Structure 1
Amino acid sequence: MKFRCERDPLVEAISVASRGVTTRSSGRQALMGLNLVLVGDQLQVTGSDLDLTIIATASVSGSRDGTVLVPSKLLTEIVRNLPEGAVTFEADDNEVRIGSGRSQFAVKTIAVDYPPMPEAPEAAVTIDAALLRDAISQVVSAASTDESRKFELTGVSIAAHGTGI
């Protein structure tokens, strides 16, 4: 895998996808990484804990397609702290090399297969992000944050009803 892009779109994609990565040691090393897939000029970054999967994309200037699994926390910190401007990214089976200006980093890849992600259902819905945020903010305060009690509801149910949710 090899590509070049501006720092800010790369930081955005990696930061968004890293929110899906597990923060606890689950015994599955792959879930502590970000899966980067380059096809043409489109970079797809996936982070998952198997309950939540976040996929972010960025437009890049790709020169060699490929897939690589990189430790999420380390990659996020490196990319956030790069100087503004062009970033080069090159990966082989064992290592990712990231460069920008005079900054150069080499990161060992995670040598396990990333778990397959479930296919999205055929019936998909598109909703404006601001509307969804506003709707969730109205009810999220009722959800408990105490996961130790089995009888408390720690989530928010979202269901489609006709043309609304």
Structure 2
Amino acid sequence: MKFTCEKMQLEEAVRLVSKAASPKSPIDALKGILIRAGSDLRLTCYDLRRAIYTDIDADIKDGGSVVVNARLFTDVIRNMPDGLVTVSVNEDFEMLIKCGVTEYTLTTISGDEYPELPEMDRERKLDIPQNILSSMIQDTIFAVSTNESRPVYMGSLFEIENGTMTIVSVDGFRLALRKESIDHGGSDTLRFIVPAYALSDIEKICSDSEETMSLSIGTKHISASVGNTVIITRRLEGDFLSHEKAVPRDFKSKFKINKADLARAIDRVSTILVDGEKKPIKLVFGDGEINLSCRTAVSRSVDSCICEGSAEDVEIGFNDNYLRDALKAINEEEILFCINTGSSPCVIKSAGDDESYLHMVLPVRLSPGN
């Protein structure tokens, strides 16, 4: 095998696919990058959960396929000088990498030892604008659970119905939901769960443009393709929380608040939380004002934020990071903070009462003295 390509193009391809390498796998081939030179140059990584492959332009002199250690190859290509890189592999599977006066020799194995990628069956295809999908993932992925005892919640639920796509993430303490109108070319309802690690990869290959990316849904796998790059991942299976039943629709009080003012107040009162200290911040909702406070064993902080709305001094404890995440995901200057009691879920959404994005967060029990 022998080919020549631009160093920067090869480096970007290696960086992209190596996320799916499996450095701790007992299978040597899965620790590496499969490089296949044929009509074009394809780089592939597969960790048995998801696969990423991409095609790049190259001047291919001799075809073939080998597997090279992903970590080592990544470091070598990154440290190469800019310019044309020539890669050749001899009959003993020794790889020679040259760029100018810089040379490396690496040991590889035959590409025949690399496992086959999963096949997509009974596909349903969707074309979604890249900027919309990227934004929806960013606004919900932070609420995905990391609890391996409930694997179904280690991904986000996709629902596509009546021209609307909804993405929902739940971790047991909060729920993030985002809706957008799309043209899915059918009247049927689609429901599938995409693992968070794959969502992160998909978000990174999307651009800010309105150009579409292709999402294919099979019975066991999902694939996403943008340009010459394809990501294939397993679907998560199981019963996902019904967000229609979980999210309250009626509230005793709604408070209209400037998002930046509330965010700054949260930052100020939580300053005393150091060394990973897990103490709630207390919000007291009153008449035209929200009073915030926090108390630790050695310190106390107080602040306030003006708002529109009133309640009879309802006290609610929150994890400060959960509130920050919700505020960051709302691209509006003003928000609605919707409450019932001090022990019931709260909903945060845009001040226009638009439910295209909402965040539900469960309160934290306040101990005496908070």
What TM-score bracket applies, with the shorter chain setting the length? 0.7 to 0.9
How far, CA to CA, are the matches of 1:162 and 1:21 in structure 2? 38
Q: What displacement does 1:124 show? A: 3.3
What is residue 87 of structure 1 aligned with on the other side? 85
How far, CA to CA, are the matches of 1:43 and 1:164 in structure 2? 38
Alignment coverage as a number of residue pairs? 161
Q: What displacement does 1:146 show? A: 4.1
Q: What displacement does 1:107 show? A: 0.4
Letter in 2 for 1:29: D
**C-alpha RMSD of matched pairs (Å):** 1.9
How far, CA to CA, are the matches of 2:129 and 2:79 in structure 1? 31
C-alpha contact 2:4 2:58 (8 A) present in aligned 1? yes
What is residue 74 of structure 1 aligned with on the other side? 72
What is residue 58 of structure 1 aligned with on the other side? 56
Instruction: Map residues 38-49 of structure 1 onto 2, 5 A cutoff.
Output: 38-40=37-39, 42-49=40-47
Taking structure 1 as the reference length, what is the TM-score of the superposition?
0.88
How far, CA to CA, are the matches of 1:162 and 1:65 in structure 2? 48
Greater fraction of residues in strand: 2
How far, CA to CA, are the matches of 1:37 and 1:104 in structure 2? 21
Q: What displacement does 1:60 show? A: 0.4
How far, CA to CA, are the matches of 1:163 and 1:2 in structure 2? 48
C-alpha contact 1:29 1:110 (8 A) present in aligned 2? no
How far, CA to CA, are the matches of 1:162 and 1:6 in structure 2? 46
Structure 1, residues 45-90: CA drift from partner, whole Å, max 9, x if none?
0011010100111100111111011000000110011100010010
**Large movers: runs of 4+ above 6 Å:** none
Between the two structures, name the one with larger relative contact order (CA 8 Å, sep ≥ 6): 1
What is residue 156 of structure 1 aligned with on the other side? 156
Larger Rg: 2
Letter in 1 for 2:64: G
Unaligned runs of 5+ in 2: 166-370
How far, CA to CA, are the matches of 1:128 and 1:26 in structure 2? 35
What is residue 97 of structure 2 aligned with on the other side? 98
How far, CA to CA, are the matches of 2:61 and 2:43 in structure 1? 17
Identity of aligned residues (%): 30
Unaligned runs of 5+ in 1: none
Taking structure 2 as the reference length, what is the TM-score of the superposition?
0.41
